[in-house]
Structure 1
Amino acid sequence: MSEGTDHEGWLRRPKTLLAVLVVARLVLETAGAAHTWTRYLSSTVALFLAAIYLGAVAPLRGVTRFTKLILPAVFLTVWTAGWVIFAILVSALLQLQGSHFASPDDYGNWPHLRQHILGHVGAIGIYSAVVVILMAVPFLLRRWPVAVGPAAVLGALVITRYWVEAMGADPARASAWSSTLAMLLCGFYLGGVGQCFGLKLGGQLLIPSILIGWAWRFWVFLAAVLSVVAPFYKTHFFDPSGGRVAVRLAESLGVGVLEGFVYGVVVWGIAVWISHTARRTALEV
């Protein structure tokens, strides 16, 4: 680890969260908790959310270059996989019937258990790449600190909604995690705190607003790609059964760039209005 970078403090909380989550799910399922709700305690989703958090706070921990994200991303992915493999071994060796980590085929069947574990090991590279991408989005916004928080929150909302829909939640309830509404609320945030970041003029809020819009649409595009990679999860982000997947994804990306810009301008308008109102109120007081 490089000098000047507080990697231990940077990774401590995500590591603890992921370990506790895996152990808690194992204990709850062993105790008889229904899989219909323990599946929401997904270490994969937690890993992705942790990646966004780490990317957002990376500059505060002395990380100043993109390449410095790669090793922590791999480490955190290996850490998560290690705890999952631990849960698989415990479930298989003790033949814990309630646990989803190991199937009955793993009980006493070492070749099958080995293949199960190797499957998780083989996925480390793919998950590490995804984690790097998730970390990179808020990290690349570090030159516009006011945009980092909103971009991270929007990413968390998109991931959460994707997972809730993938778990079969009612669409009306899943829509409560709407990132579109959150995107518009970003205008109020930017206008309210912009001056704290030295953004006193309306024009200074334009670039952060558009960057947040593009970050939002990029999150949505990633959810669409994930819908293609994992078609067994049904979400509103993308339906691969419609065919022409590559073309439709490319169209989605292009439209997303335009939508991100348009929404960014709308957010900018809201931010300017809030900023002017806040300054005028402060002068009157």
Structure 2
Amino acid sequence: MKTREDACEHLLIKPFSPGYTLWLRHGEKPAEESSICTPIIEKPTTEVNPTFQMVREAFNFTMPHGSDEATTGKPVEDDDLELSYLYDGPSREAQDFTDLLADGVEELYPGCSKYSKLSFLVKLYHIKCMCGMSDKAMSMILDLLQDAFEQAKLPSTLYEAKKTIRKLGIGYKKINACPNDCMLYRGDDEDATKCKQCGTSRWKQKTQKGSVTKLKIPVKKNGKPLPTKTLCYFPLIPRLQRLFMCSKTSTEMFWHKEADYNYGYLRHPKDAEAWKEFDAKYPFFLTICAVFV
């Protein structure tokens, strides 16, 4: 996958040749179809696979319904032949996209048509998050499922399950914090070992056996000290991008701009005078934000 600027540069260096191949499987249509109006016979609508829709929206990638790529999850070999001069190999995002599509079509177990490997994992992880299950409990459940259903395509460890979930772009950043909520260990304070406000140690301290007295010795795991408190930070920009990319929430993001007249009721901050004044002062702010996202 390339950025808009890279794609423009590639087209300037090596434009389309006279014998350009029409990529019908990628949504292109012959020139005759665009100029001639022909009656369209509506086909019965097929149910959209929610797993594929979730993967496509996570990568901001759309494909025509019913295409081969949406059902096989295999990379198109023609691209490697025709566009080999554009890249040396698949990027990490492209590989993640291909892996998720492959997991989306792989049956959970032979003969299972209700759940794929990816859809079952997403539902299982959703239960973990909604119920506040610990990582230890989740690992025990995975071990039990693997023991009971040997043919099921389940991740062997919770770490592997999280790696798959992270490919959907719903991760977060961990920032160490003072246990008294005085400060965050970030920026210039990223390497600090104690709070600059209250002097409390950044790391968990070992205690005497049968006592609460701390020995001022950091508790370590895998050779690294454990922080006393951690803040889970969800970056704003990726969340806004996801809201605009998802078909179920993108329309709601523009509701305040496209909604009907309020008839004097304050239904949304947009109906307030401060919002109207901001719109009048910066009329292109919403459009710029939408293009940026």
TM-score (norm 1): 0.21
TM-score (norm 2): 0.21
- Structure with the greater alpha carbon radius of gyration: 2
Which of structures 1 and 2 has the larger relative contact order (alpha carbons within 8 angstroms, sep 6+)? 1
Going by fraction, where is strand more abundant, 1 or 2?
2
